[in-house]
Structures are given as C-alpha cells and as structure tokens.
Chain A
C-alpha cells in the first residue's frame, strides 16, 4: 500500500553551535505514510524539524537527507518549501502588519511560479483560501488579522494547518502541533490533519503524548532518545509508551 520513498535520512548528525543533538539519525518515509516521532524533552525532536526545514541556526555535521532523491541539505529553506517540504512550527512567530490573506497569497504564488504556473488571480485565490480555512473552521476575520499577531496558542496552531492546506506540501512535519491545545482545539486540529492526508503525501508528527495519535492514527511510531531512534513500531507502540513511560522503554531498547 505504501508509495515511493519521499524522504530518506541517513546518519544525520546535527546541533546548535558545538552541541550535537542528533547523533546518527535514520528515517525513511514513503508517500501515503504518517510517522510519529516521540521522545522526551531534549531528545532532538525539534532539532530534526528545524534541520529539515533549513533553519540557519542549526548545523549539520554529517549524514544525508534526500527528498525525492534530491539532496535537501544543500537547498535554501525557501527552495525546500517550494519542493514541497512544510514545517508546522511549534512556536509560530508573530508578524505584525502583514495580514494572513497577503501572507498566504505570497506563499501560494511563490509555489505557483515555482511549478511554472501563472499567479492566481485575487478572486480565485480568495475562494481557495476560504475553502481551505474550513479545514480547521477558521473564522472569516482571520484573513484580515496580522499573521499570528495576538493569536491564542490554539489559533496559531490552527493557522499552521491552514497554511498547510493552502500549500499542499508533499511532506509535512508537524512539530508538537498538539502542545498547548485544549481538548476541543486538539480535535479540530486533528480532524484538519486527517482531511489533508492523501496517498501522495506524507506526514511526520512530532509529539510528546499519545493524545494526538488517538485522533490521527500513525502508520509508524518511532521513539527518539538522545539523538537517535531507539525503537520503531506500529501505532500500538505509542500506547505501550504511554503505559511504561520513556525511561522504561528506552532502557528496554538499550538492554
């Protein structure tokens, strides 16, 4: 049932400054799959997401990352986005003065140009955005508000999903998209994610807890500890983790 390989990470070692956080990380993701990466604080989850998106603060010291066969690590962040890699940020930044409609249109048109298509005309685009906002029931007022400016934690996370719905990435990395959400917001976000699941795209869900995975059922679950995947399994691994806790599981993995 799985499609072609989208992402192939081998021996990835990376960190900030002199500090290595990922230490020989391997992962292979195929089209149509949802992978969950779970792990305690400091295990390297966020580093992985930032490195894949190309955050210049992070330094890769060794290893390879191929996206559809292309070397992702040599690409600028904007080139990665245009190729179809999307990061839903754990802490989306606020951009006062730039409204969501303009921001989305800029991003969408950058993608259209990259794909050799003409820019969307404003009316056509407006229609598209309104439809995609529906994925997470974003109210109309959202369009004229500044990007994430004065948004609640839940609104920021929903905004990430709206952007993902508009840009339709091939690979989406969702960095703790469930954190800080109350139960209703979690359900809305999770339903949104499910609606965007397709056989030709893939997702990596980075999370601490099983609760998001109760709504978005992953194909694979990986446990990250100390910069490496220490155990992989199916959806049931997340349940096991919840029962036993990280310490026991990682100890088992070592033993």
Chain B
C-alpha cells in the first residue's frame, strides 16, 4: 500500500532486533558491593580501579535517581539488572581477528560492521563491544605504528594504567550525577583512545556497541585523550535486540583535548526503541558525555544522530577552559511512536575568547515526545566568550510534541550570545506538492527531513552521513498519514 498522508507513514520494523546465541559468563542479577568487587576481579584490575569503583558505588548509594527530565518511565529496579555479561573466554580473548568467535563475527557482519581488517570501509578502525566487553579492535597495529592507541578500556587499564589513572573521572567525576556514579561503579568495558603530541590519526576510529543478553545493562566507558596538536575523529554506533523488557544503557564518555588538539566525536544511535504500537520494551539510554578543552585553542565537536531507544536522556557537553578553545554540538534527534528524548548540550565557558556553537534539530512523529534542553554558561573570567545556538523542531503529524528548554547564564558582560529557534510541521499540502510532481510520499518525507538536518549531516564523516540519511528515512516510514 502506498502511504497517503502523514499518518500512514511511520512504522518500519526494527531490523537489528535479532539475538545471538552464544555462551557467556554472566553475573547474577543485582547490585551490591560484592558485584562491584566481582567485576573488578573478573577483569583482573589493579587496586586503583577497584578503589575508584568502590568510592563511586558508595557515593551512588547516597544519591537519588533524578526526575527533572521531561520523560516518563516506570521506576527502574536496580536489583533486577545483570551488571556483567561477557561472551565466554574463547570468544572474548582476541589476540587477532582470526580468533574471534565465528558467531560473534557473524553477528557483526549481520549488523554491517566489518571486523575483518581487509574488508570494505577501509580507512575506519573498529572496536566492537558486545554486551559488557570489547570483542575485537581492528587496525590496532597500523595505528600503533604512528603512536595512536585504540583499544578496549580493559586493555588500557592493563597496558596504560598511568594514563587511565590520570584521566578517568577527570571530566565526568563519579560525583557528577546518579548514572555517572552507577557507571563508575560497574562499568565493564568500552573504548580507549590516546593520540600523542602532534599526531593526526590517519583514519576514523569507530566503536560499535551491541547489547545482546536480555535483562543486562550496558555500562561502558569511553576515554579519549588528545595531546597537543593532535587530531582524531571518532564514531560510535549502537544496536540491540528486541526484548519486551527495558534495558538500561548508562555510559560515560570523557574527552580531553590539550593545546591545539581537536576531537571530533560522532554518534549514530539506533538502539531498539520498543514496540511501535504499545511502546513496550526498548533501551533507556541515559548517558553522560562531556569533553574538556583543557588546552589553548583546542576544539571538541560533538555530532549526534539519535534515532533509537525508548528514552534518550543525554547532553554531550563541553567545558571550555583553554584560552580560545571551541566547543560544538550538532544534533539530530528523531522520535517516533512512543519514544521520548530529552537531549541537548551544555557549553561552559571558563577561559577567555572561548567559542561555542549549538545546532539542534528535533524531529517528532507518531505519539512521541522530543525535548531540547541546553545550557550556555559564561563564567566571570570568560572575556569575549561567544555562543551561537540554533534550535529547530520539525513535527510530523499532530499527535507528537516538541519542547525546548534553553538556559543562558552569563556572568561576564563582554559575552556575545545568539539564540535562534523555529518550529515547523510537515504538512499534507507539502507532501501533495511532491506527489503532484511524481515523487512518492516516502521519498518526499526523506527529502524534507534530510533538508531539515543538512547542517548536522554535513558534520558527519562521509559514509556515515549516507548511513544516517538512510536511517532517518527508515525510521520515518509509516509516519505519514
């Protein structure tokens, strides 16, 4: 059937909803001090890591789950979550690509993630995270030759403990918020990147996160350190099988940029969003992402395309300390059916001559709820700080909602701030106009939405921009009626 109007259009099946049968090592459900110790023990961690985890855990016990976001969900039972699940050692032990469990390889192939180094997507190094652990990192050797370290977080703890010790929690301390504390206590793996002084990473680095086990949470941690004059572009992608139960994904990402270093961090998030009709199941994506521009004229740029998850609750932010440093946030957040998103950014200007730029595009369809929440803070010492914010919302149909909650707090009179916002709706008249020129509704929708998101897609690395474009098209199928 050809969809006719805005309502017929948005109900495409989630195609990553399959589960892989694989033997795994899984801790029993529930969280207590012993869980934290077990995770640390399973990972053979040094003492400082266990200490870090325990401090975080004890602090977490004193906190309450925050409720200020514009989202609704039943109370999470933290004793009903599996905190550690990893493919059996034969699968997880990956000295080379050839030793990766064939089942896992197949899974990632099905997802379109190439682990085989010689295969297509040449020029992109991939770290694949399956449930709690990293299963494979490609191009590792080639990167090491130029001094770039790209490995799983566990491996970093083992091989580069001094770097981990110096920077873990330096951007997002475990005291930062409820989910950051929880992550710091139980995180199981993640990616680690180190770019030494003066090195530009010769290829895109990419992490791919996959939740497989039902009832498990994914608590990964990413740490990227870019030394003076270094450059790295990093991309993460995410999918999960369909389960009727909700799964918690509480990640922490920390970025550190030293003098004149530049980090570009892109996310294409397509976690399972729950049943399109009932809203049952799906991922709770409660993530803390922050970058610190420590060095002079350093730059951190976040680009995110958020299309999945039952609930997305995240604010990739920049702390601009170094003189003349720059923070950027480019975001497309699409919600459909019963999805909820409360996302945005925080730009904290501390150093003088710091600049930030925020471009947020929210698309709501179905009965979804989409909110932009942002804060721009200009501290007293941030002379000549500048911010430009643009927040656009696009509504598809008349059952969805869009909200913006911008906050500006300027304590320095030399600051220059600009804020622009708009709300528009894809109308049946627009669709009819396309159709009367021989263009199908689906193609019309995709064209309008891509036009709306263009400024953000332009920031994505080439092939991922193409992927994001297609993904949005798929996600909106069935939303026009």
Q: Which residues of A contact B (CB under 8 A)?
A: 53-57, 76-78, 80-82, 86-87, 89, 92-93, 95-99, 102-103, 106-107, 110-111, 114, 146, 163, 167
Contacts and interface: CB of A to CB of B under 8 A. Distances in A.
Contacts of A96: 424, 451-452
B118 interface: no
Interface stretch (B101-109, B155-163, B246-254, B427-435): B427-435
A97 B448 contact: yes
A57 B433 CA distance: 13
Nearest to A110: B438
A82 B435 CA distance: 10
A80 B430 CA distance: 17
B392 to A, nearest CB: 9
A78 B437 CA distance: 6
Nearest to B422: A96
Contacts of A80: 436
A78 to B, nearest CB: 5
Given A96-B451, A97-B452, A98-B447, A81 B436 contact: yes
Nearest to B449: A97
Contacts of B4: 56, 76
Given A93-B427, A97-B452, A82 B433 contact: no
27 contacts: A53-B432, A53-B436, A56-B4, A56-B428, A56-B432, A76-B4, A78-B441, A81-B435, A81-B436, A81-B438, A86-B436, A87-B436, A89-B436, A92-B433, A93-B427, A95-B430, A96-B452, A97-B452, A103-B437, A106-B434, A107-B437, A107-B439, A110-B437, A110-B439, A111-B438, A114-B438, A146-B451
A4 to B, nearest CB: 23
A102 B448 CA distance: 11
Contacts of B467: none
Contact of B436 (A57, A77, A97): A77
Interface string B1-14: 01011000000000
A87 B432 CA distance: 11
Contacts of A92: 433
A177 B154 CA distance: 69
B322 to A, nearest CB: 35
B99 interface: no
Contacts of B448: 95, 97-98
A106 B432 contact: no
A78 B447 contact: no
B430 to A, nearest CB: 5
A77 B435 contact: yes
A111 B438 CA distance: 7
Contacts of A107: 437-439
B440 interface: yes
Contact of A102 (B432, B438, B447): B447
Given A56-B5, A98-B451, A93 B438 contact: no
A167 B438 contact: yes
B51 interface: no
